[in-house]
A and B are shown apart, each in its own frame.
Chain A
Amino acid sequence: MAANTENIKSQMRKGFLEYCILMILDGKAAYASDIMQRLKEAKLIVVEGTLYPLLTRLKNAGMLDYEWQESTQGPPRKYYKLTTEGMVTLAELADAWKEMYEAIDLITTKKQ
């Protein structure tokens, strides 16, 4: 049973994380490490390794794009930004999130 709860939770988190990444990149491009920083602040992610598969998946789905930027220290870094498709998806996800939020809100308030 416990493993099942864990599975549901990780599924929820996965979908949620992708939405959050799109939100962070909305209107402003960022390095992976900046995105990481924001997610860590929000306590959504603990290990950095989680982020890279997500970014690649979003990029392959055509929602993100990146360009290489030279860094003063260390190797060149990927500078991620939203594509038009990503912006459309973000708007859709925002609606979906709102609906979900309202649904849960409705159920919890009715219960009381």
Chain B
Amino acid sequence: MKKTLTVNLSGVVFNIDEDAYDMLSDYMCDLERHFAKTDEKEVLRDIECRIAELFNEKMPASHNVVNIDMVREVISIMGRPDQMDDGESSERNGSSDQFMNDMADTVKAAASEAQKKLQKKLYRRTDQVVIAGVCSGLATWAGVNVVVVRVLALVATLCLAQLWVPVVYLILWMLVPQATSASQKLEMEGEAVNVDSICDMKEREADDDKGEQSGGGCLGAFLKVALILIGVIVGLAVFGTLFGVIFGFLGMVIGAVTSLFAGTVSLTAELAGCGSAFVPSLLALVVVVVPVVAIVLLVKRLLSPNNGKHVRNVLLALLFIWVLALVFLGHYGGFPFVTGLPW
């Protein structure tokens, strides 16, 4: 028994098996990425049209569901994206020519594979999860056993008896994306992403699902809820402080301006007084505001983990600004908030 989905390929509706759908949508994504450079939306539409036509032709009279074999066949007819632009596999006459071509293909494939092997990407693993898959992701990235990384993390947490390790873990949790799609999993393991490897990965995933129901991640789910709660509480607290700081800041400015107009203080003295207070209070404002924004973003991201890259970049930028402001504030002799931190 298989679950089926309904897809619309350039206006024609097909019922399609779930595994076949996954393969087809991965293929379409690859094509989209391939043609995105040249901005040829029309080509994609043409190809989609042709795929619909081929499905129609290949559909046996007794069936009305597109299965994975049909998708595989259509993909082999249309060709992988890398075959499309330079048409490597066409026009092969004569055995020496054939040999040369094969050699070239092998060399190219080996070279690109070697290159890909080096470019592993850091993802959080979804199949080996205790909290959020950060340790298993790091282990895959570094090519070491997961147990090693976990034991190291645990020992470091206990030995340092400080917040460094958990904080780094939280930051990685925020910044490192989850490997959910087949191509992300391949990138994580540093394998070449093409139709064949994606198909292999799909089959492996299917086997894993049959093999065992993973019970991991419940600790992660619990922590997530706890984190969201903490986030909300801290967010509210910081929000209160924020109001205090803003009104304090406003009060300072208004006070300065009114005293200036009242003529009680001379302009030079006023500027000197303000100058010394202005920069630290502005920095303090940044130090308080940035975590609020970060917490709001973090909670949003935890609730819907798929809103991709820009959240990550924004968080990174915020982290940078915050650290910078903190350092300068420390330079100005500080703020009890900074020296009071646990590290």
Contact of A43 among B42, B46, B85, B91 (CB under 8 A): B91
Residues from chain A with Cβ under 8 Å of B47 in the complex: 49, 52
Contacting pair B50 A45 (CB below 8 A): no
Q: Is B148 an interface residue (CB 8 A)?
A: no
Q: Is the CB of B87 within 8 A of A14?
A: yes
- Measured between beta carbons, the chain A residues less than 8 angstroms from B11 are 75
- Which of B38, B43, B90 is in CB contact (< 8 Å) with A13? B90
Residue of A nearest to B107 (CB): A2
Q: Is residue A73 contacting chain B, with contact meaning CB distance below 8 A? A: yes
Instruction: Give A44 to B49 CA distance when docked, in angstroms.
Output: 22
A78 near B46 with CB under 8 A, answer: yes
Q: Whole-angstrom distance between the alpha carbons of A17 and B49 in the complex?
A: 22
**Residues of the A chain whose Cβ atoms lie less than 8 Å from the Cβ of B43:** 52-53, 56
B53, B81, B90: the one within 8 Å of A44 (CB): B90
A/B interface sample: 23 pairs, CB < 8 A: A2-B100, A5-B104, A6-B88, A6-B101, A10-B88, A14-B86, A32-B46, A43-B90, A46-B79, A47-B79, A47-B80, A47-B84, A47-B89, A49-B79, A50-B83, A53-B84, A53-B85, A56-B46, A74-B56, A74-B57, A75-B10, A75-B49, A78-B46
Closest 8 CB pairs of A and B: A47-B79, A10-B86, A74-B56, A2-B104, A49-B84, A49-B79, A52-B46, A6-B104
Task: State in angstroms the CA–CA spacing of A4 and B311 once bound together.
Answer: 42
B interface residues with partner A (beta carbon < 8 Å): 9-12, 31, 35, 38, 40, 42-43, 46-47, 49-50, 52-53, 56-57, 76-81, 83-91, 100-101, 103-104, 107-108
Taken residue by residue from 70 to 102, chain A's Cβ proximity to chain B (1 for < 8 Å, 0 otherwise) reads as 010111011000000000000000000000000
| A74 & B52 in contact (Cβ 8 Å cutoff) | yes
Cα A5 to Cα B80 with chains together (Å): 21
Contact with B along A1-25 (1 / 0, CB 8 A): 0110111011001100100000000
Chain A's nearest CB lies how many Å from the CB of B41? 9
Question: In the bound complex, how far is the Cα of B91 from the Cα of A62, in angstroms?
Answer: 28
Q: Which B residues are CB-close (under 8 A) to A49?
A: 31, 47, 78-81, 83-84
Nearest B residue to A57 via CB reads B40
A46 near B90: Cβ-Cβ < 8 Å: yes
Contact B46 A48 (CB under 8 A): no
Instruction: Assess whether A46 is in contact with B83, with CB atoms less than 8 Å apart.
Output: yes
Additional A-B contacts beyond A2-B104, A14-B87, A53-B85 (19; CB < 8 A): A3-B107, A5-B104, A6-B88, A9-B91, A10-B86, A13-B87, A13-B90, A43-B90, A45-B90, A46-B87, A47-B84, A49-B83, A50-B83, A50-B85, A50-B87, A52-B50, A53-B43, A75-B9, A75-B12
CA distance A46 to B50 in the complex (A): 15
Asked if A55 CB lies within 8 Å of chain B CBs, one says: yes
- Which residues of B sit under 8 angstroms from A50, Cβ to Cβ? 79, 83-85, 87, 90
What's the Cα separation between A6 and B107 when bound, in Å? 11
Judged by a CB distance under 8 angstroms, whether A33 is at the interface is yes
